[in-house]
Chains A and B, each alone.
Chain A
Amino acid sequence: MAVEQAPPGVFDGAALRTDFPVFDRPHRSGRPLSFLDSAASAPRPRAVIEALADAYGHHYANVHRGIYELSEDATARFEAARRRLAAFIGAPSDREVVFVRNATEAINLVAYSWGRTHLGPGDLLLSTEMEHHANLVPWQQVAEATGATLEYVRITDDGRLDLDDLRERLAREPRLLAFSQVSNSLGTINPVTEIAAMARDAGTLTILDAAQSVPHMPVDVAALGVDFAALSGHKMLGPSGIGALWGRRELLDAMPPFLTGGSMITRVSLDGTEWNEVPWKFEAGTPAIAEAAGLAAAIDYLEGLGMANVRAHERVLFERAWAALGGIGGVRRMGPDSPDEHAGVLAFVVDGVHPHDVATILDGEGLAVRAGHHCAQPVMQRYDLPATTRASFYVYNDLDDVQRLVDGIRTVQRVFGTA
């Protein structure tokens, strides 16, 4: 089956791949690398690597401390990166953007700091069946610690959040709803604005796992109407070890610190301590200084492409891949059958072949895909699957990657005699 030629408006994948040194690396298959696992972690462009090296080489000292030029320089660049990220995600104020290690830490920050302060027996917490473990386990832990009850919004057979089920649960006025904008295991794009409005009407706070959306589409947290949002730098072409929590200022102001120590204080005596203002109240210890510069460079790169274009590009790749895999007998595709509601994350099952065998054979063809439960075991349980294979697209992928995926699946079926 031949995938058709690219329509206008789609990035030239081959040209963009020259920005990413990882594609220079020879693959043991002897074929060029087809990287289809960006939903797990994305490679970074040379501009990000150079920004990291430049920060470490020429602008590095500890931030918020030194009364000397180099520290002032490092601090100014660190805070400039915060402003860059705030603008990128539509945060009304950069004071509302807390640097953390990753989206997991951002969610844990809210679970520990807000959750343990505000929750008690009789309180209801909502997560959903489609969440990544990062947006499930912290809530299980906080429910266990506080005596609050945790329930999960159901998902439909085609991988959408069941909004009727959500409405019924919101009627019991839960304190918080934790949900994702894009499911990492199904690719579903949730109607965040609608869900946030429903939650607001119920007096329920919302925390959005935006780890899979911010890298791939325009996101404006204020316009979405959520109360908190979590993201990771390493999924958006930035360095690992840096991510962010965005939260509404009055909520962050009222929360106690998560981690304590240096930098997050204004005055410490042996009798007690005064907390610094947000966001620094939540940034104990030396932060990821050079990584912040790398993240700012990643945002520059993405904005150079244009986030609407990134989304349009991935939408085309998804549509072609969805149609092509649908044309292969014995392949089951996961998630909504609509490109409006499905990001560039395509999970599938090849009948009669375990996903790990699929991934190993595809690796032999030079394709990097993910196989397993994608840190979303409840999703696997929901569909009674041990695991799935997942291909995820980003800016450096093109229709050639889609064609190679199709050819690779045919190879899998040939090896296993299931064609």
Chain B
Amino acid sequence: MDNLYRDFILEHYRNPHNTGVLDPHDLHFADSNPTCGDEMSMTLRLDEAKERVDDVAFTGRGCAISQASASILTDELRGLSLDELRSIDPRDVVENLGVPIGPARLKCALLSYKVLQGAVIGAEARWPDEAEVLAGANEGGSAP
């Protein structure tokens, strides 16, 4: 369990990357995880052709997993096209945390993904299928 709170996660939690609100921005969405009260808002600015991500920022309050997940995910978004944003695999988002995520904390890990998808489609996105994500993301890892 303790390795859920590896220094890598705690460092992102204490000093998250890409925080704030971009003004102006092209895409924005705010969402929450009602089960734990975590809140997250994300803004994205596109390049001049309005095709690829020029910059991204998020604000939020929540647990270490949700905040670190947003920090790590937003690091990966610059230069991606809208299609590439849409096709991000939620299993990769969980995998990139580098720690085993069990069913109880899966929504924490996926809130940033859900907010990003909400920004892309301009409406609340659905949670990914939890069983599929767990089957793919935690191969070999023991759930915390």
Cβ-defined contact, A360 with B37, below 8 A = no
Query: Does B5 sit at the interface, judged by CB under 8 A?
Result: yes
Cβ-defined contact, A360 with B1, below 8 A = yes
Q: Which chain A residues (377-403) contact chain B, with CB distance < 8 Å?
A: 380, 385-387
Contacts A354-B63, A372-B36; is A415 near B1 (CB within 8 Å)? no
Contacts A354-B62, A356-B108; is A364 near B1 (CB within 8 Å)? yes
Cβ-defined contact, A373 with B10, below 8 A = no
Query: Does A247 sit at the interface, judged by CB under 8 A?
Result: no
Contacts A357-B63, A360-B105, A360-B144; is A387 near B4 (CB within 8 Å)? no
Query: Does B134 sit at the interface, judged by CB under 8 A?
Result: no
Cβ-defined contact, B1 with A356, below 8 A = no
- CA of A15 to CA of B62, assembled, Å: 40
Contacts A360-B105, A415-B10; is A355 near B1 (CB within 8 Å)? no
Closest residue of B by beta carbon distance from A364: B1
Count contacts between A and B, CB distance < 8 Å: 59
- CA of A360 to CA of B4, assembled, Å: 9
Cβ-defined contact, B10 with A387, below 8 A = no
User: What is the interface residue range for chain B against chain A?
Assistant: 20 to 34
Cβ-defined contact, B37 with A361, below 8 A = no
Cβ-defined contact, A386 with B39, below 8 A = yes
Cβ-defined contact, B1 with A387, below 8 A = no
Cβ-defined contact, A356 with B10, below 8 A = no
Which of A29, A373, A380, A386 is most buried by chain B, counting CB atoms within 10 A of its CB?
Answer: A386
> 0/1 per residue, B22-61, Cβ < 8 Å to A?
0000000000000111110000000000000000000001
Query: Does A97 sit at the interface, judged by CB under 8 A?
Result: no
Which of B4, B37, B62 is most buried by chain A, counting CB atoms within 10 A of its CB?
Answer: B37
Closest residue of A by beta carbon distance from B143: A28
Contact residues in B for A415 (Cβ distance below 8 Å): 2, 5, 10
**Closest approach, in angstroms, between the C-beta of B2 and any C-beta of chain A?**
6
Contact residues in B for A252 (Cβ distance below 8 Å): none
Measuring CB to CB, which residues of chain B are less than 8 angstroms from any residue of chain A? 1-2, 4-5, 10, 14, 35-39, 61-65, 104-105, 108, 142, 144
Other contacts beyond A360-B1, A361-B5: 10, CB < 8 A: A353-B64, A354-B62, A354-B64, A355-B36, A356-B36, A357-B5, A360-B144, A364-B4, A364-B144, A386-B38
Measuring CB to CB, which residues of chain A are less than 8 angstroms from any residue of chain B? 28-29, 353-357, 360-361, 363-364, 371-373, 380, 385-387, 415-417
13 contacts between A and B (CB under 8 A): A353-B64, A355-B63, A356-B36, A356-B63, A364-B2, A364-B144, A371-B36, A372-B36, A373-B36, A387-B36, A416-B10, A416-B64, A417-B14
